């Protein structure tokens, strides 16, 4: 394989990696015992939704919802994971979120975002 062909293969592989929503760990440390409002977003389940290229081609379709959670002071929460847990709930993800088959960690990290409102 020529150096040009090898570098183009690497570029293609990187382009197909599944990180449509960017890198974020979704961690939140509760400043007090309180209910929090979490804004959730996931990549919509479309053909090839795990791929950056296909995600871009599909118009970066997202499913969004807001959910309430009880937080305890000083506890660190993974809001991406919190949103992932509601992915199949009516009025939340409604079974419309993309997933990496058999890989909850990659799904949560790459395809879900949770932020405190």
Q: Quote the pLDDT of residue 75.
A: 96
Overall residue count recorded for the chain in this entry: 117
Q: Quote the pLDDT of residue 58.
A: 87
Q: Which of 85, 75, 73 is nearest to 114 (CA)?
A: 85
Long-range contacts from 100-107, C-beta under 8 angstroms, 24+ separation: 100/18, 100/50, 106/18
Nearby residues of 82 by Cβ (< 8 Å), 6 or more positions away: 26, 38, 40, 67, 69, 114
Mean pLDDT, range 46-62, rounded to an integer: 91
Work out the pLDDT band at 23, boundaries 50, 70, 90: very low
pLDDT tens-digit map of 70-85: 999 999 999 999 999 9
Dist. CA 68–CA 77, nearest whole Å: 13
């Amino acid at each position: 394989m020529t150096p040009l062909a090898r570098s183009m293969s690497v570029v293609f592989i990187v382009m197909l990696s599944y990180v449509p929503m960017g890198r974020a760990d979704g961690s939140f440390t509760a400043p007090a015992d309180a209910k929090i409002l979490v804004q959730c977003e996931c990549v919509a389940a479309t053909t090839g939704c795990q791929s950056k290229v296909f995600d871009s081609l599909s118009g970066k379709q997202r499913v969004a919802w807001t959910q309430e959670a009880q937080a305890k002071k000083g506890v660190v929460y993974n809001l991406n994971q919190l949103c992932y847990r509601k992915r199949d709930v009516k009025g939340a993800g409604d079974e419309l979120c993309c997933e990496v088959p058999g890989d909850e960690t990659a799904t949560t990290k790459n395809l879900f975002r949770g932020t405190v409102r």
